[in-house]
């Protein structure tokens, strides 16, 4: 025991021993020991209380703290965290409020303190948020206005097999429509979308990257998959090349998906798919979403009233268009010859109309594919990608009138 502490306790014992002799008044004892009368009466009361260790210092913590989190509340917070180890304080509070709205739950900051005291959170480096670029594509204003799709980076399961998860979300409600292991090809992806369209109806558009199987560097950026979307009245929205932030909401979901389902990966593809299915149910119905005001995506999601047709109608073009069918080689018959347009549109009808400057515009439904110049050569438009630089002003033999890049 430190000397200072030992001396202090010995002085208290000596004080009471001197008092017990009856030879000193309280005033004399207080003056001799350098204390005031209230301190004397405090130590006398403690000794008379029957505590054998009355002379030791006691904690200075308040006996009662009205702001202290009740033990049952702290236990509920800790139980929620252990059930959902990927939930932060805000999501835990939202989940608890949804389950017991009549109960008074503490603020998210207090819940964070409870988790720290329980050793259930670790400090994380705070990153400075980047400034959002002007002109970024806006978000959807209603369910099914725009879906987003992508392949989360592939990995191998424990048995060495390659796993490519295709993910699809609704841009407005953040509802996770699908996480499905399939080949990253048109043949692998189209059946997934056929089922989604049949179960949930058709969205107005689908945001995707510009690589296969969704996009290409061909006319209008179309592949056979995105051309099929267009036939159904679903507009493909291609993000800028190498700019995953243009699909940031979807990428944020990918981070959660990776942390909760593939670190480490499952032993087999079947087990990995079961993890994806469980994550989708949790993400839609249990996990509060901060951007949605801490409600779950399922509370905002509803199926589209636009049902998938049993039969696709041929595209319709205005009367000033000449209609041609694209052959298997990707070309169309034009002026006693052939002009290559796009292999992605094999078997589809395209419209050709005069632009008034000697060139001809080639269009698929409402997507401008390119122009046929005066020499009979087809010059394809670059894909419809956000903030794509405009073509320079036409000079010489260039055909003008378009603000889209020509490749």
Per-residue pLDDT at 404: 47
Give me the phi and psi of 170, to 5 degrees please.
-90, 130
SS3 category, 385: strand
Decide if 341 is inside a domain: yes
Taking residues 240-249, report their average pLDDT.
Answer: 78
DSSP3 helix / strand / coil % (the chain, rounded to 5): 35, 15, 50
Decide if 55 is inside a domain: no
Per-residue pLDDT at 233: 94
Residue 336 above 50 pLDDT?
A: yes
Asked if 370 and 394 sit in the same domain, the reply is: yes
Asked if 266 and 160 sit in the same domain, the reply is: yes
pTM score of the predicted model = 0.70
Taking residues 348-366, report their average pLDDT.
Answer: 92
Asked if 281 and 323 sit in the same domain, the reply is: no
Check residues 221 and 391 and name the one with the higher pLDDT. Answer: 221
CATH code assigned at 268: 3.30.420.10
| Number of independent structural domains in the chain | 4
Tell me the C-alpha distance between 73 and 78, whole Å: 9
Which residues, other chains included, contact 157 with Cβ-Cβ below 8 Å and sequence gap of 6+?
A: 163, 265, 266, 267, 268, 269, 271, 272
Check residues 156 and 391 and name the one with the higher pLDDT. Answer: 156
| Closest by CA position to 227, among listed 238, 239, 214 | 214
Asked if 318 and 295 sit in the same domain, the reply is: no
Asked if 153 and 222 sit in the same domain, the reply is: yes
Check residues 48 and 394 and name the one with the higher pLDDT. Answer: 48
Residue 64 above 70 pLDDT?
A: no
Check residues 332 and 403 and name the one with the higher pLDDT. Answer: 332
| Closest by CA position to 308, among listed 241, 232, 248 | 232
The confidence band for 48, taking pLDDT boundaries of 50, 70 and 90, is confident
pLDDT tens digits for 249-267? 898 899 999 999 999 999 9
Residue 385 above 70 pLDDT?
A: no
The confidence band for 303, taking pLDDT boundaries of 50, 70 and 90, is very high
| Closest by CA position to 159, among listed 258, 275, 269 | 269
Asked if 152 and 291 sit in the same domain, the reply is: yes
Question: Cα dist. 271→176, 191, 318 in Å?
Answer: 19, 21, 52
The confidence band for 63, taking pLDDT boundaries of 50, 70 and 90, is low
Asked if 159 and 259 sit in the same domain, the reply is: yes
pLDDT tens digits for 97-154? 998 999 889 998 898 888 888 888 877 665 544 434 344 445 678 999 999 999 988 9
CATH code assigned at 91: 1.10.10
Give me 243's structure tokens.
């700019």
Domain boundary among 243, 275, 299: 299
Decide if 337 is inside a domain: yes
Per-residue pLDDT at 393: 38
Decide if 347 is inside a domain: yes
267-271, 299-303, 375-379: which range is least confident on average? 375-379
Per-residue pLDDT at 131: 38
The confidence band for 56, taking pLDDT boundaries of 50, 70 and 90, is confident
Name the percent of the chain lying above pLDDT 70: 86
Asked if 162 and 293 sit in the same domain, the reply is: yes
Most confident of 77-91, 257-271, 387-401: 257-271
Residue 70 above 90 pLDDT?
A: no
Return the exposure string of 197-231: e unless at least 16 CB atoms fall within 10 Å of the residue's CB, then b: beebbbbbbbbbbbeebbbbebbbbbbbbbbbbbb
The confidence band for 230, taking pLDDT boundaries of 50, 70 and 90, is very high
Residue 270 above 50 pLDDT?
A: yes
Asked if 32 and 175 sit in the same domain, the reply is: no
Give me the phi and psi of 351, to 5 degrees please.
-110, 140
Residue 191 above 60 pLDDT?
A: yes
Asked if 240 and 211 sit in the same domain, the reply is: yes
| pLDDT averaged over every residue in the chain | 85
Residue ranges making up the domain that contains 155: 147-299
Decide if 226 is inside a domain: yes
Per-residue pLDDT at 9: 83
Helix (H) or strand (E) segment spanning residue 252: helix 248-261
Asked if 170 and 246 sit in the same domain, the reply is: yes
Tell me the C-alpha distance between 219 and 5, whole Å: 87
Question: Cα dist. 280→236, 241, 253 in Å?
Answer: 24, 28, 10
Decide if 280 is inside a domain: yes
Asked if 157 and 219 sit in the same domain, the reply is: yes
Decide if 306 is inside a domain: no
Residue 186 above 90 pLDDT?
A: yes
Decide if 138 is inside a domain: no
């Amino acid at each position: 025991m430190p000397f200072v502490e030992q001396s202090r306790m010995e002085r208290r014992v000596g004080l009471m021993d001197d008092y017990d002799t009856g030879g000193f008044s309280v005033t004399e004892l207080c003056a001799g020991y350098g204390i005031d009368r209230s301190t004397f009466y405090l130590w006398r009361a403690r000794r008379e209380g029957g505590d054998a260790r009355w002379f030791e210092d006691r904690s200075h913590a308040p006996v009662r703290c009205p702001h202290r989190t009740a033990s049952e509340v702290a236990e509920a917070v800790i139980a929620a965290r252990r059930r959902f180890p990927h939930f932060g304080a805000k999501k835990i509070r939202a989940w608890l409020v949804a389950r017991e709205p009549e109960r008074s739950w503490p603020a998210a900051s207090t819940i964070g303190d409870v988790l720290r005291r329980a050793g259930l959170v670790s400090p994380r480096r705070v990153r400075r948020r980047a400034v959002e670029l002007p002109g970024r594509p806006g978000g959807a204003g209603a369910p099914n206005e725009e879906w987003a799709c992508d392949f989360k980076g592939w990995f191998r399961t424990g048995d060495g097999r390659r796993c490519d998860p295709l993910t699809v979300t609704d841009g407005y409600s953040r509802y996770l429509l699908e996480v499905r292991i399939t080949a990253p090809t048109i043949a692998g992806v189209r059946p997934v979308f056929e089922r989604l369209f049949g179960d949930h109806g058709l969205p107005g558009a689908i945001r995707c990257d510009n690589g296969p199987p969704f996009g290409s560097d061909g006319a209008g950026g179309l592949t056979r998959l995105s051309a099929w979307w267009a036939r159904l009245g679903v507009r493909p929205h291609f993000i800028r090349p190498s700019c995953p932030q243009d699909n940031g909401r979807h990428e944020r979901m990918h981070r959660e998906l990776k942390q909760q389902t593939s670190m480490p990966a499952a032993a087999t593809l079947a087990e990995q798919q079961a993890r994806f299915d469980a994550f989708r149910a949790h993400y839609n119905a249990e996990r509060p979403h901060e951007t949605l005001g801490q409600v779950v995506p399922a509370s905002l999601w509803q199926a589209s009233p636009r049902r998938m047709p049993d039969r696709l109608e041929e595209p319709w073009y205005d009367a000033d268009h000449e209609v041609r069918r694209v052959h298997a080689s990707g070309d169309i018959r034009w002026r006693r010859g052939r002009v290559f347009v796009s292999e992605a549109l094999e078997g589809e009808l395209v419209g050709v109309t005069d632009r008034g400057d000697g060139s001809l515009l080639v269009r698929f439904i409402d997507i401008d594919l390119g122009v046929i110049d005066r020499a009979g050569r087809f010059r394809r438009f670059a894909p419809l990608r956000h903030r794509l630089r405009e073509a320079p002003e036409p000079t010489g033999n260039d055909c003008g009138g378009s603000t889209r890049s020509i490749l």
